[in-house]
């Protein structure tokens, strides 16, 4: 009942509102018709109504009587019963009931029954010779139902038999044009035969004898500007070749799947026209309107259309779907047809149209996965994604012109990316550019950028090519729970979303959200590109945000975003210590009910999670800032810092930590201020801004001292001392590190103490006091090992290797570099593995072990090349020099001998 009344947008207190509506309805019915009780049932309400008081039941009873009288050949009685049934109608079914669910479930069937009764009643009037009486009514009905050929057939017959032959011929021209324009088909055999009889001198009640079965040629005209899709065309060609070689013992069914606007129909029409001559018995094209502003085509309507296309006169078509399907299979058995079922929304809608025999090729397009056809009927799926960049450029050029696009290539590329490489959006943008040939593309680019909503730029007066409308037909097919998840997913700041993030934003468990995500993926509203990671197209993301603003209350939207940000923040805070074993006073936020942060198996798991979530997490910081969740803003920035630092994402660190610092200052949160200053200062240091780094770390230290935050003081001293070391002030750096070490001794904070020892060892090495540095670094390694922290141990091993190298103890140095490279390899951190191998190669070279140096550098170069790192060129240059030196030595040795 809730879905029937409110559809996809129920009120927040839906059950209470329903109770109020029922109470009001009871009172209204009792006032208007007396006793009309609405009772309570276990799962809802029940109306106890007299049969005759429900107009639908009365209508259906009159139709039943009419069919009985037809069986008794009582034309007068049948006509009277149909007239009584039709008198009950007052406009369209459920016209004043604002419920898409009720109209879908009942309205379309009632409208079809009404139209059938009308057609049958007119048949009886024509049979009785009342031609003049029905012309006006038929003219109106045919205009309202232009694809209903039976009405045009009746109208032409009535016009001809009451002496209006010229009007009948004009009516035929009208219906032929309407069918061509709106459905891309020719009139049925019945209409063509009637037209011929009128041309030959008029109609009579007699029927025309049977002739050879017609060959349907119903493919739509070629779309202009077809581009790309080479891979998909090859897949279709291969499927047809296998079909023709008899590699299947049944008709071939191939499904073209993809999101709204991706070009499934255009591809189907283009390919079908290219292979039409290989189907001598004809080509049938039927738009099933699965995703359309109009009602979906029913099995009865579809079979009636196809049977007429195959030459069956209307009067010979069985009235029941089972009889129609049986006749269809009989007529198609032994023939070779190409049947294109466009815009299907379910396997059931397609299955009744599968022909008899094994010679047919059935091409189905649809947004749903239609897995039932794959599982039960052996169909093959071909999934269409958005255009590649090359395909998009090809399409845009074909519609706008090479000359114009050649002058503004970069602007064209930006327009293509703004369209998300979605073919429908590209077609709209290209049409606008082509309509104004004198305007440069920069004008179109500016117009696309200036539209208030991203989808306004792709609106169209033709609803079939309006991106928002096309998306809506997919959305309206979703169940209410799936539609809600889609709306809330679009509140995510990124378009790449994990199952965990989806569960958090929707307020569901992982087990609850997964089937709903599968529904969205099956409808191609999202795409599962990797296990448990889903991608939204940019324009669908915008569409979902519009829906969320329209349907969800402000409070619900804020609650959903808060849940998502809590999930991000607590997961990041849980993962951070696995990358760097430092203790802190940053406490995770309280979690909303149902939020389940990620549980990590170890350092590698945490690092991989950061890598795939990085863009979303950075966007999450800015979402928290914009939404006013300051407590989450700075904590999420802190949680992200280690990963961003390790991957060299300096710009992201600066933008997130500046946002986090502003949040901490608005909250007057001193812990947040300390850590945000520290994070910024560390990036200033590694990017060579030593003076700014010192200033920023001094600010953090001042706040920590003012609040007597011992842990904060020790951390700030570490960071400030590192900045002093990089600025060349080694004594001040050592002083600060040692003060930090004294503060942490005995505190139990082994991770922080290990980091401080590591920093002291680096500083002593930089000061040339290598002999003092080595035992400190050995102690740091033992501390990291006691914590089970392999990354910290590897970093300390690299520092030890550098110290031993300065002492020219190359064997010890190589041993520690090799350990570090192995540890990074085990952690799956290929960049750090390559860096360790690079240093190992230098150590081998200095110790005269050229062969081992070459092997280490080759491995490093291979890793850098896989990562598309410019470091690969540096290592290749080292290898070339090594090879040149070896060649020179060989030549010198040869000369001396």
Type and span of the H or E element at 381:
strand 380-383
User: Residue 131 pLDDT > 60, yes or no?
Assistant: yes
Residue 491 in contact with residue 506, Cβ under 8 Å? no
User: Residue 1 pLDDT > 70, yes or no?
Assistant: no
Q: Supply the pLDDT for residue 206.
A: 39
Name the least confident of 35-44, 139-148, 651-660: 35-44
Taking each helix axis from N to C end, the angle separating 871-896 and 830-846, rounded to the nearest 10 degrees, works out to 20
CA-to-CA distance for 69 and 332, rounded, in angstroms? Answer: 34
Q: Supply the pLDDT for residue 616.
A: 94
**Which of residues 55 and 800 earns the better pLDDT score?**
800
CA-to-CA distance for 182 and 4, rounded, in angstroms? Answer: 32
Name the band, by pLDDT with cuts 50, 70 and 90, for residue 211. Answer: very low
Name the least confident of 142-146, 195-199, 720-724: 195-199
- Portion of the chain with pLDDT greater than 70, in percent: 91
Report residue 40: phi and psi, to 5°.
-100, 130
Name the band, by pLDDT with cuts 50, 70 and 90, for residue 208. Answer: very low
pTM of the model: 0.65
CA-to-CA distance for 464 and 467, rounded, in angstroms? Answer: 8
Calculate the average pLDDT of the chain: 86
Average pLDDT over residues 536-560: 92
Q: Residue for token digits 């064209």? A: 412
Q: Supply the pLDDT for residue 248.
A: 57
Average pLDDT over residues 265-289: 88
User: Residue 106 pLDDT > 80, yes or no?
Assistant: no
With H, G, I as helix, E, B as strand and everything else as coil, classify residue 40. Answer: strand
Name the band, by pLDDT with cuts 50, 70 and 90, for residue 299. Answer: confident
Average pLDDT over residues 153-161: 89
- Encoded tokens for 249: 């013992």
User: Residue 249 pLDDT > 80, yes or no?
Assistant: no
Name the least confident of 78-82, 354-358, 706-710: 354-358
Residue 590 in contact with residue 469, Cβ under 8 Å? no
Q: Supply the pLDDT for residue 431.
A: 84
Q: Supply the pLDDT for residue 471.
A: 86
Residue 65 in contact with residue 81, Cβ under 8 Å? yes
Q: How many residues does the chain have?
A: 897
Rounded CA Rg of the chain:
37
Average pLDDT over residues 682-703: 92
User: Residue 247 pLDDT > 60, yes or no?
Assistant: no
Assigned superfamily of 808-897: Tetratricopeptide repeat domain (1.25.40.10)
- Encoded tokens for 564: 């998502």
- Portion of the chain with pLDDT greater than 90, in percent: 41
Residue 577 in contact with residue 569, Cβ under 8 Å? no
**Which of residues 291 and 501 earns the better pLDDT score?**
501
Among the listed residues 216, 143, 227, 213, the one whose alpha carbon sits nearest the alpha carbon of residue 182 = 143
Name the least confident of 28-32, 443-447, 806-810, 892-896: 892-896
CATH topology of domain 230-383: Rossmann fold (3.40.50)
Residue 506 in contact with residue 488, Cβ under 8 Å? yes
Q: Supply the pLDDT for residue 869.
A: 86
CA-to-CA distance for 262 and 266, rounded, in angstroms? Answer: 9
User: Residue 203 pLDDT > 60, yes or no?
Assistant: no
User: Residue 638 pLDDT > 90, yes or no?
Assistant: yes
Helices assigned H by DSSP within 828-849: 830-846
Tell me whether the CATH fold assigned to 55-199 matches the one assigned to 808-897.
yes
What is the distance in angstroms between the CA of the first residue and the CA of the last residue of the chain?
A: 101
User: Residue 801 pLDDT > 90, yes or no?
Assistant: yes
Average pLDDT over residues 572-587: 89
- Encoded tokens for 176: 């032929």
Q: What tens digit of pLDDT does each residue of 430-444 get?
A: 888 888 888 888 888
Name the band, by pLDDT with cuts 50, 70 and 90, for residue 605. Answer: very high
- Encoded tokens for 609: 């999670």
Q: What tens digit of pLDDT does each residue of 470-482 get?
A: 888 888 889 999 9
Average pLDDT over residues 246-267: 84
Burial 159-175 (b: 16+ CB within 10 A, else e): bbbbebbebbbebbebb
User: Residue 513 pLDDT > 50, yes or no?
Assistant: yes
Residue 636 in contact with residue 569, Cβ under 8 Å? yes
User: Residue 451 pLDDT > 80, yes or no?
Assistant: no
Q: What tens digit of pLDDT does each residue of 376-425 get?
A: 888 999 999 999 999 999 888 888 888 778 878 889 998 998 888 888 88
Among the listed residues 387, 389, 390, 463, the one whose alpha carbon sits nearest the alpha carbon of residue 423 = 387
User: Residue 793 pLDDT > 60, yes or no?
Assistant: yes
**Which of residues 332 and 887 earns the better pLDDT score?**
332
User: Residue 656 pLDDT > 70, yes or no?
Assistant: yes
User: Residue 17 pLDDT > 80, yes or no?
Assistant: no
Per-domain boundaries in the chain:
2-49, 55-199, 230-383, 389-467, 808-897
Q: Residue for token digits 């009516």? A: 171
Contacts with 343 (C-beta within 8 Å, 6 or more apart), sequence order: 265, 287, 288, 289, 290, 291, 292, 365, 366
User: Residue 37 pLDDT > 90, yes or no?
Assistant: no
Q: Which value, to the nearest 10 degrees, does the dihedral of the CA atoms of residues 428, 432, 435, 440 take?
A: -140
Q: Supply the pLDDT for residue 369.
A: 85
Q: Supply the pLDDT for residue 896.
A: 59
CA-to-CA distance for 630 and 662, rounded, in angstroms? Answer: 8
Number of helices and strands in the chain (H, E): 41, 10
User: Residue 25 pLDDT > 90, yes or no?
Assistant: no
Assigned superfamily of 55-199: Tetratricopeptide repeat domain (1.25.40.10)
Name the band, by pLDDT with cuts 50, 70 and 90, for residue 19. Answer: confident
Type and span of the H or E element at 363:
strand 361-366
User: Residue 501 pLDDT > 90, yes or no?
Assistant: yes
Q: Supply the pLDDT for residue 210.
A: 32
CA 551 from centroid of its chain's CA atoms: 20
Residue 154 in contact with residue 118, Cβ under 8 Å? no
CA-to-CA distance for 368 and 347, rounded, in angstroms? Answer: 9
User: Residue 798 pLDDT > 90, yes or no?
Assistant: yes
């Amino acid at each position: 009942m809730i879905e029937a009344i409110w559809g996809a947008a129920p009120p927040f207190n839906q059950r209470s509102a329903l109770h109020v509506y029922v109470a009001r309805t009871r009172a209204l019915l009792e006032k208007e018709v007396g006793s009309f009780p609405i009772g309570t049932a276990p799962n809802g309400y029940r109306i106890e109504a007299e049969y005759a008081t429900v107009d639908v039941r009365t209508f259906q009873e009159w139709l039943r009587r009419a069919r009985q009288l037809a069986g008794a050949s009582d034309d007068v009685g049948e006509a009277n019963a149909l007239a009584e049934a039709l008198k009950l109608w007052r406009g369209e079914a459920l016209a004043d009931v604002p419920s898409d669910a009720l109209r879908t479930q009942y309205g379309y069937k009632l409208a079809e029954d009404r139209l059938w009764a009308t057609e049958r009643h007119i048949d009886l009037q024509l049979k009785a010779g009342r031609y003049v009486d029905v012309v006006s009514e038929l003219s109106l009905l045919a205009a309202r139902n232009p694809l209903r050929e039976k009405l045009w057939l009746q109208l032409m017959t009535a016009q001809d038999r009451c002496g209006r032959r010229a009007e009948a011929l004009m009516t035929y021209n009208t219906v032929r044009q309407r069918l061509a324009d709106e459905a891309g088909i020719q009139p049925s055999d019945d209409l063509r035969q009637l037209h011929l009889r009128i041309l030959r001198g008029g109609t009579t009640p007699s029927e025309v004898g049977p002739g050879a079965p017609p060959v349907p040629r119903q493919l739509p005209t070629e779309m202009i500007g077809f581009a790309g899709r080479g891979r998909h065309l090859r897949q279709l060609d291969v499927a047809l070749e296998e079909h023709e070689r008899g590699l299947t013992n049944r008709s071939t069914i191939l499904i073209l799947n993809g999101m709204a606007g991706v070009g499934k129909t255009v591809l189907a029409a283009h390919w079908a026209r290219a292979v039409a001559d290989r189907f001598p018995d004809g080509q049938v094209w039927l738009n099933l309107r699965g995703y359309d502003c109009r009602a979906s085509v029913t099995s009865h309507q579809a079979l009636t259309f196809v049977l007429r296309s195959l030459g069956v006169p209307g009067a010979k078509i069985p009235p029941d779907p089972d009889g129609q399907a049986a006749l269809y299979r009989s007529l198609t058995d032994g023939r070779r047809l190409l049947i294109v079922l466009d815009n299907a929304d379910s396997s059931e809608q397609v299955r009744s149209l599968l022909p008899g025999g094994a010679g047919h090729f059935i091409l189905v397009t649809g947004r749903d996965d239609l897995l039932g056809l794959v599982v039960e009927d052996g169909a093959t799926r071909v999934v269409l994604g958005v255009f590649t960049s090359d395909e998009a450029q090809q399409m845009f050029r074909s519609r706008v012109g090479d000359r114009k696009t050649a002058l503004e290539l970069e602007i064209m590329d930006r327009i293509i990316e703004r369209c998300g490489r979605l073919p429908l959006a590209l077609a709209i943008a290209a049409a606008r550019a082509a309509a104004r040939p004198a305007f440069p593309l920069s004008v179109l680019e500016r117009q696309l950028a200036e539209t208030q909503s991203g989808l306004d730029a792709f609106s169209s007066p033709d609803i079939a090519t309006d991106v928002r409308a096309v998306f809506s037909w997919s959305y309206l097919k979703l169940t209410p729970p799936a539609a809600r998840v889609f709306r809330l997913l679009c509140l995510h700041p990124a378009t790449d979303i994990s199952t965990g993030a989806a569960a958090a934003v929707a307020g569901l468990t992982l087990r609850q959200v997964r089937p709903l995500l599968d529904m969205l993926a099956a409808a191609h509203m999202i795409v599962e590109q990797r296990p448990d990671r889903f991608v939204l197209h940019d324009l669908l993301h915008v569409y979902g945000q519009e829906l969320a603003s329209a349907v969800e209350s402000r409070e619900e939207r804020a609650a959903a975003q808060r849940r998502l940000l809590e999930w991000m923040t607590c997961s990041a805070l849980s993962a951070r210590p696995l990358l760097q074993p430092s203790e802190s006073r940053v406490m995770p936020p309280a979690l909303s009910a149902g939020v389940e942060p990620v549980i990590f198996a170890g350092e590698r798991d945490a690092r991989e999670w950061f890598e795939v979530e990085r863009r979303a997490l950075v966007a999450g910081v800015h979402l928290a800032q914009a939404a006013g969740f300051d407590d989450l803003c700075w904590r999420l920035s802190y949680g992200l810092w280690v990963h961003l630092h390790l991957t060299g994402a300096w710009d992201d660190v600066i933008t997130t930590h500046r946002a986090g610092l502003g949040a901490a200052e608005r909250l007057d949160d001193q812990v947040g201020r300390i850590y945000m200053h520290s994070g910024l200062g560390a990036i200033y240091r590694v990017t060579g801004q030593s003076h700014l780094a010192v200033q920023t770390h001094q600010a953090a230290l001042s706040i920590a001292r003012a609040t007597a935050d011992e842990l904060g003081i020790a951390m700030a001293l570490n960071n400030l001392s590192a900045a002093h070391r990089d600025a060349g002030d080694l004594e001040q750096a050592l002083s600060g590190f040692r003060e930090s070490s004294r503060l942490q001794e005995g505190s139990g904070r082994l991770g922080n103490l290990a980091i401080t020892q590591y920093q002291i060892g680096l500083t002593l090495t930089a000061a040339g006091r290598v002999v003092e540095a080595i035992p400190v670094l050995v102690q740091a390694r033992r501390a990291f090992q006691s914590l089970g922290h392999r990354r910290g141990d590897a970093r300390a091993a690299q520092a030890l290797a550098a110290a031993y190298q300065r002492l020219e103890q190359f064997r010890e140095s190589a041993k520690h570099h090799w350990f570090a490279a192995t540890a990074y390899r085990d952690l799956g951190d290929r960049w750090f593995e390559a860096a360790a191998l690079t240093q190992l190669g230098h150590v081998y070279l200095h110790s005269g072990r050229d062969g081992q140096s070459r092997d280490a550098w080759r491995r490093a170069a291979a890793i850098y090349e896989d990562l598309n790192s410019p470091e690969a060129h540096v290592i290749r240059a080292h290898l070339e020099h090594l090879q040149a030196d070896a060649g020179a030595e060989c030549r010198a040795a040869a000369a001396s001998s």
